[in-house]
Structure formats: structure tokens, C-alpha cells
A and B are shown apart, each in its own frame.
Chain A
């Protein structure tokens, strides 16, 4: 096992050496322009929006946890406070003395956490809009994310899950399999919109414009609880995503998400 910093250094050098074809130029067949050992993988839009999203995800998660620590209790319905029965309580320390946790009171981090949470929320939403519009425009959504013809049946999903469970060697097809497509679509068009919706439902100003957005979720405290569960789901996706990347070859796949290409021998 080599030192990871050596890996990182090699990887950085290889990034600089690999002058990849502009894979965003569909007119030029990639295979002609690229060095024979490189295969185009991710478009520039996907790469840039991916890493901005990673940045925002980390900022939102860290600040979200900080905000949560000021009241690690959850309720269902419209209202909830320490005089009321919680739906459940997280057994973690709190940054407020009035929440009975049995732990020492942590320092208050809500001020900057809230500023950063909403700024990162703006950035991830704007990035998401760019990504979705670009993906509709350049065919990424139709070509890479919607299930391909032969993937539109249950057998395709069972086959993929069977391969995962058997730890069968990955046959590189250069395209996402049925499960990957379903999960990516679910996160992009299901989970992230749910996080945005449940987050906006916490805003008293947004609630004044769109009361139905709060009421449809069962009330403001329900929205907060759902925001928490959706976060858990997104963190699970993140963990599985990174594990799958690691199993496929962490540095080659990460490099591909930076330079846009992957080396043939690493497929």
C-alpha cells in the first residue's frame, strides 16, 4: 500500500499531463482528438456543477448540524418547544442550556452557520438550475440519466444488484447502469427538491406567500423533521456514492470528474 500523498501527487501530475480533448465539443469525435489512452467521461458542465455541489453539500451539512444542535428535538405538526412532547430527541449535546440533554452546553455557532447555510443553499439551487437546463439542452439527461431502452424492466435492476452483491468485476460500458440512473434521478429530482421545499417551508416569509407549501407537509415542525430525514437520506447517498467510487477506483474516477477523462487501462 503506497502512501496516499504519493497517490495524490501522482494523480495531480497525471492531471497536468493529460491534455484531454474538449469533450464539450461534440463536433469533434472524441476518439480522434484524444490521446489513444484516454476516454472522455464527463462534460464540463457536469464536472463544474458536481464540485460546486460537493462544496455546498459540505457547507450545508456542517452548518445544518450546528443549527440542529441548538435544539436537537423534533416534533410533528405546526408547533413544538421544550414544554411539548417531542416526536423524538437526539441524544447529543446542545448549544442551548434550556434543552435538557444531560451534556455540557456547547458554544453557540448559529449566527455564521445560518448565514452560510442560506448562502450555500442559494449557490446549490442556482447550480442545480444550470445543471438541469444544460442537461436538457445537451441531451445529458436523456442520454445518460433516463433509463436506456434495455434498462426499462425489473430484470435490469435485479441484474445490477446481483452483480453488486456478488462483487462481480465491473464491466465498463461507459454508461450508467439502471440502478445508477434511478438513484441519480431520485437524488436530483426527488431528494434535493424535497430538501429545498422542506427548508423553504421553515421560512415565515415564504410561508406568508405560499402557506400551502407548509400545510402540505403537515405544519412547520413537520417540515423541519422531514428536512432532517431528507438530510439523513442524502448523507446515506453520499456514503454509498463515495464507497462505489472507491470500489471502481477512487483516484481514476475522481480524476475523471476533474479532467473529464479516464485512462483506458483503468477502465
Chain B
């Protein structure tokens, strides 16, 4: 009997300590931005563990870069929904009028042409694009680091997320500031020593090599800096969770 009682007391103390620890952990996680916008529902605990762990582990880590000889001879351009009329107008004009608008929590909202982006410090990197389906390819991606654009616009201190949208407004994504300020996060306009082809997301694609391909949005023409994802779409962080896919795709 004493064994049972001792065990019961031990179990109660352990359970109490466990619950308090979990409570403290959740509070700390929220405070340090370790809870993803799609943390509700039955998959929330797993998703939060993944995001929190990887955010802590990968704040400054660099995606693997490859030698020039590793560039895929046959990169695969994924299937795309038909491009809208507005895109086709831009395409017919050689993307001369393509603009990237930058707004939200910035000191200087801006509207940048491709020429403006090309005037910013250039970065090129040979990284892998991995699709959630399982396929992949390696390419050289050339563009302006997103942090250069954010610096120029003067991001306010309370900024927590960067929302970016395709010209087809059904497609929009967001990332946290750790990914937004990461040196490999590129507003990409070139691929393999050439302009970025339309089928690979040209004229402008946000490349994010530390996450799966679906976060590397094609045809980007708008960026909004914000402190909360609550008022964007259904508040889950991007179009992906609204379609059933995780917001964070570092896996």
C-alpha cells in the first residue's frame, strides 16, 4: 500500500511539474516567437515542436551550397495554374513595368522596378530546390538579398513577419524575420547565368533554400512587413495552411 501511495504522490507531483513546465514552455515559446501561425488544431503540437526546434537551431545556419558542376542539367519546372491577364501584359512588355511594392511596418514604403533590384548588391548561390513531393534540382540563383530591400525600406522594430505575394493573389506566403533577414533569402531575378525563366518563376521569385519549394513563391510583386499574421487571410500565416499544408516548411 505504501508503495502505491508513494507512487501516487510521485506521479501527482510529476504530473503537476509536467503541466507547469509545459505552461511555462508555451509562454516562453510565444514570447520568443517560436509558435507558428498555424499552431491550432490537432497538428499544432507537432508543428510547434518542429518550428521552435528548428528556429532555435537554424537562426544563422546556411543552406548547403553546391559546386557549379552539381547544377542540374535538367531542372524541372513544376506545373503551374494558367497565368493571369495582368501577368501576360507584363510579359508582353518584357517586364519593364514589373514593380515590387514594399509596405507595412516600414519607414519608407517603396515600389521597386527590376532595375532598382538589380542596382542593389547582388548575391548568387547554387542551392537545391526541394519540392514537398520528393523531387529536387540544383540551380544557380541570382538576386538581391531580401534584407537589403528591408534595410532600404527601414523595417520598424516591431516587425515579426514578411508577407510576400504572387501577382496571382491566390498565392501568398510569409516568413519570420529570421528567415527574412537570412543572407540566402533572395529576391531572385536570374538563374544559371541568365534571366529567371517564367516557368521557374520569372521575372521575380523569392528563393528560400532552407525551406521546401512551395515557400519559394513565383511571380512576386508585393511585400508587406507586419507584427502579426492575424489579419492576413484566415490568420494561419499563408495560403499553404489554408490549403492544408504547413506554414513552416523547413521540416
Contact = CB atoms under 8 A, between A and B. Distances in A.
Interface of A: 22, 25, 27-28, 67-68, 70-71, 73, 78-84, 96-98, 110-112, 114-116, 118-123, 202-209, 211, 214, 220-221, 224
A25 B4 CA distance: 9
A207 B49 CA distance: 18
A220 B212 CA distance: 13
A22 B7 CA distance: 11
B132 A114 contact: yes
A83 B136 CA distance: 10
Contacts, number: 131
B251 A204 contact: yes
B47 A119 contact: yes
B43 interface: yes
Contacts of A123: 46
B121 interface: no
Given A84-B74, A209-B58, A119 B130 contact: no
Contacts of A207: 63-64
A76 B200 CA distance: 24
Interface in B220-251: 243-246, 250-251
A186 B72 CA distance: 38
B64 A122 contact: no
A81 B74 contact: yes
A211 B45 CA distance: 27
A209 B61 contact: yes
A82 B137 CA distance: 10
A205 B245 contact: no
Nearest to A69: B133
A83 B47 CA distance: 32
